[in-house]
Structure 1
Amino acid sequence: MKTALESLRNASALYNEKLVKLMKSFGMTIAEHRLLLLIESGLDTQEKISLATKLDTSTLSRQLKSAVRKELLDKLATGRDKRQLIYSVTEKGQSDLKGIAAELARIDANVFSDWNQNDRALLDQLLDKLEKSI
């Protein structure tokens, strides 16, 4: 018999498969999508993003370079020595974020189509309790 945590892990793996497929359809990775969301929220430098995500600078630098190369992000050199980079989401990046958000909403609606409002509220409550327990 599966434990509750094994069931959560399995559900997470299934959702992650859908997420990877969705991101690939937009030509990006899950990590790049998260970067775009962070930058859109105002974390516009590598230092700010690194502090928020706890990612080491070499990993973050590779992800940022990839997103710039894919024209999802723009970068602007600032400061006296032009070594500080400010990142912003491009029009293409913004368009992709909107498309992904719409598709994620569709997936959510499909997953929970047979759930009533009480079921959803209970799930939220139980997941919140689980997070606090872990």
Structure 2
Amino acid sequence: MGSFDAKEGTQRRSEPRTRQEALSLRPVRNKDVLEEKQPNGLIRLSYPLTLKPWFGKWAQKLGKWDGRPMTKKLELDEMGGLAWSMVNGSHTVRDIIDAFIAEYGLQPKEAELSVTAFIKELGRRGIIGLR
């Protein structure tokens, strides 16, 4: 059994999931992520950067950080924007893959690899959680 991430309301698991279990998960947005539509139609996400406590203390001692929350930005392309629009807790990873197949004419395996890599990267950055 894994630990529970209270900020996200999601379960963290230490044991691997089956492919079907993973595709049936529902991505949810981190409430601290800000979304900004760009004039070119793309989406820019601003999200809090979490620092290890030792690094924060070290950076403060060197005068490189004043203790305020740090943010990073991520600009999504058209495909990333489609996936992001479906990250709302009601669509499964499989739903997002199916949308990629329908919208961009991708082969199922190609769509699955693209979407799962994108979801994994958003999760690694703390932008989304899975439930």
TM-score (norm 2): 0.31
Structure with a larger share of its residues in strand: 2
Structure with greater contact order relative to length (CA < 8 Å, sep ≥ 6): 2
TM-score, structure 1 as length reference: 0.30
Greater helix content: 1
